[in-house]
């Protein structure tokens, strides 16, 4: 059960937003490619384990999860686990969690799930794969014996991480040695876009984790950044180090390694910065216009200029309908209309606007209001006359409708579901390619590889929305203080 829940976003993530698979459906070859679930199942299968598949429920990051939906799925999960136990002994449990899942009325939910799992299987080893943006709570920590976190952002090692979680479980069962995990929590928040794994300081810090886990006796060293767009008392960075064996030497090695990694992290706290160009929304658009004018030559090998609408990034759980950047673009329509290609804006999560376009049909003109349906703080309902260019129904695993629609020289993608815009197949599904456009605005933070590889320039707009990168400006009420960088001069001794 995995979700990254953004508590600043008012959307309640419900049944329609989740992909759920239960029981034998999880063992169908090829399901959920590139995920930690995939790595877990493949590793257990190769080892000849007798797998009892329980349940998978995943959704795109979004607002907190509906209390009733979570209760229902937790019930299904626990019921299936109890059934499995009744059918024969269970040796171990391997989980794929995110580690920042929050539920209406409950807050952090992984600990609640683990508590229920432990009631059924109190004494067997449990390992879990985690997202790099996991928030660790006492209850989550207490329920799991061994943890493996992603070591890449953007996350491209999810399968390997699942495989590591499964290997640790198998090794513990084969050797009879217990897993032990040491935990150090660092009082710090980090904006996601300051922590790409290919940039410093993350590159070196993750390298330290990789070297640490090669020490005899240690199996995994994970650097978990927490999730800054949740106002929660548990927020912060964690180091988790898991050893195979829980005797005094293994404990001591895991404890000292966790402390060393945490101290190394704290030492570099001031080195976390945005990697590339970044400006406010207005300056981002002005800069992009200048870049297009100087670099884009029709007929030659062309590369688009990208502007990330980073404050409203649905893959970081923002609503996807904030309009600050769009308003800055609309103020400059004289320039937009002279661009050599339409400005492609991918895109908006706006179910009513998508429905209106679909109802009108391809070629029709629709008077609509785009944006501001959910994020009413940073979004306004912007009146636009859209010409419908293309419609795709039930796209992808979340079955979203997609619409391509033009307003003057701007081309919008609009989704009926909150699926985000980092997916490399979304634009091709609408029959277009980002590389054919001189300027692409996208509701993302750092660019996914599919965009980064073709970008002439990647400009990050520090726009306003539920994934606002300027953490110092977020009115947190619940996070524990002192917390860096909110408390800039604070000290911490590990």
Residue ranges that bind Zn ion, judged by CB under 5 A: 131, 133
Nearest of 402, 386, 404, 383 to residue 394 by alpha carbon = 402
Residue closer to Zn ion by CB (options 2, 244) is 2
C-alpha–C-alpha distance, residues 336 and 278, integer Å: 21
Residue closer to Zn ion by CB (options 320, 379) is 320
Residue closer to Zn ion by CB (options 133, 151) is 133
Q: Kindly state the smallest distance separating residue 488's Cβ from Zn ion, in Å.
A: 25
Place of tokens 């979340």: 398
CB burial of residue 367 (10 Å; 0-12, 13-18, 19+): exposed
Residue closer to Zn ion by CB (options 133, 418) is 133
Residue closer to Zn ion by CB (options 133, 185) is 133
C-alpha–C-alpha distance, residues 208 and 239, integer Å: 12
3-class SS of residue 98: coil
Q: Give yes or no for a contact between 405 and 389, defined as CB atoms under 8 angstroms apart.
A: yes
Place of tokens 């897993």: 179
Q: Kindly state the smallest distance separating residue 401's Cβ from Zn ion, in Å.
A: 26
Place of tokens 């981002």: 284
3-class SS of residue 450: helix
307 forms bridges with which residues in the sheet?
Answer: 441, 459
Q: Which residue is nearest to Zn ion (CB)?
A: 133
Tokens standing for residue 284: 């981002």
The dihedrals phi and psi of 62, each to the nearest 5 degrees, come to: -170, -165
Q: Kindly state the smallest distance separating residue 133's Cβ from Zn ion, in Å.
A: 4
Q: Kindly state the smallest distance separating residue 153's Cβ from Zn ion, in Å.
A: 7
Residue closer to Zn ion by CB (options 133, 407) is 133
Q: Kindly state the smallest distance separating residue 116's Cβ from Zn ion, in Å.
A: 25
Chain centroid to CA 452: how far? Answer: 18
Tokens standing for residue 341: 């290609």
62 forms bridges with which residues in the sheet?
Answer: 5
Q: Kindly state the smallest distance separating residue 226's Cβ from Zn ion, in Å.
A: 10
477 forms bridges with which residues in the sheet?
Answer: none
Place of tokens 């800054």: 228
Residue closer to Zn ion by CB (options 292, 444) is 444
Q: Kindly state the smallest distance separating residue 316's Cβ from Zn ion, in Å.
A: 8
Residue closer to Zn ion by CB (options 311, 422) is 422
Reply yes or no: is the peptide bond before residue 154 cis, omega within 30 of 0: yes
Other CB atoms within 10 Å distance of the CB of residue 138: 11
Q: Kindly state the smallest distance separating residue 245's Cβ from Zn ion, in Å.
A: 30
Q: Kindly state the smallest distance separating residue 469's Cβ from Zn ion, in Å.
A: 15
Residue closer to Zn ion by CB (options 131, 328) is 131
Terminal CA-CA length for the chain: 31
């Amino acid at each position: 059960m995995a979700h990254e829940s953004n508590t600043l976003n008012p959307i309640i993530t419900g049944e329609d937003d989740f992909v759920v698979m239960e029981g034998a459906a999880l063992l169908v070859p090829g399901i959920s490619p590139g995920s930690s679930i995939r790595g877990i199942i493949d590793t257990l299968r190769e080892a000849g384990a007798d797998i009892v598949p329980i349940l998978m429920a995943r959704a795109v990051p979004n607002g907190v999860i509906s209390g009733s939906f979570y209760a229902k799925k937790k019930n299904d999960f626990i019921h299936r686990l109890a059934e499995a136990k009744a059918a024969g002994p269970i040796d171990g449990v391997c989980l794929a969690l995110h580690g920042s899942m929050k539920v209406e009325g409950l807050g952090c939910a992984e600990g609640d799930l683990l508590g229920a799992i432990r009631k059924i299987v109190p004494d067997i080893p449990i390992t879990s794969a985690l997202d790099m943006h996991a928030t660790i709570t006492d209850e989550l920590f207490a329920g799991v014996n061994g943890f493996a976190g992603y070591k890449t952002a953007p996350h491209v090692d999810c399968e390997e991480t699942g495989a590591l979680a499964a290997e640790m479980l198998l090794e513990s069962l084969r050797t009879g040695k217990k897993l032990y995990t040491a935990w150090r929590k660092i009082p710090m928040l980090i904006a996601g876009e300051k922590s790409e794994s290919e940039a410093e300081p993350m590159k070196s810090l993750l390298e330290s984790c990789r070297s640490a886990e090669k020490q005899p006796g240690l199996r995994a060293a994970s650097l978990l950044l927490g999730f800054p767009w949740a106002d929660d008392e548990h927020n912060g960075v964690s180091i988790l180090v898991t050893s195979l064996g829980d005797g005094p030497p293994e404990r001591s090695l895991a404890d000292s390694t966790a402390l060393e990694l945490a101290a190394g992290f704290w030492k570099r706290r001031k080195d976390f910065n945005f990697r590339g160009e970044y400006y406010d929304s207005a300056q981002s658009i002005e800069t992009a216009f200048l870049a297009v004018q100087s670099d884009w030559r029709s007929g030659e090998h062309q590369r688009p200029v990208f502007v990330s609408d980073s404050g409203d990034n649905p893959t970081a759980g923002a609503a996807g309908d904030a309009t600050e950047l769009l308003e800055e673009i609309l103020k400059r329509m004289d320039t937009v209309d002279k661009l050599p290609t339409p400005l492609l804006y991918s895109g908006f999560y706006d179910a009513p606007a998508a429905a209106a376009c679909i109802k009108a049909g391809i070629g029709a003109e629709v008077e609509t209001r785009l944006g501001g349906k959910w994020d009413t703080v940073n979004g306004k309902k912007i009146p636009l006359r859209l010409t419908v260019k293309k419609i795709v129904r039930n796209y992808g695993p979340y079955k979203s409708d997609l619409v391509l629609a033009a307003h003057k020289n701007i081309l919008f993608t609009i989704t009926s579901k909150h699926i985000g815009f980092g997916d490399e197949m979304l634009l091709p599904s609408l029959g277009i390619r980002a590389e054919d456009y001189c300027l692409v605005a996208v509701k993302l933070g750092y660019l996914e590889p599919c965009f980064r590889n073709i970008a002439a320039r990647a400009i990050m707009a520090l726009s306003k929305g539920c994934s606002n990168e300027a953490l110092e400006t977020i009115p947190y009420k619940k996070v524990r203080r002192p917390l860096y960088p909110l408390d800039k001069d604070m000290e911490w001794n590990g």
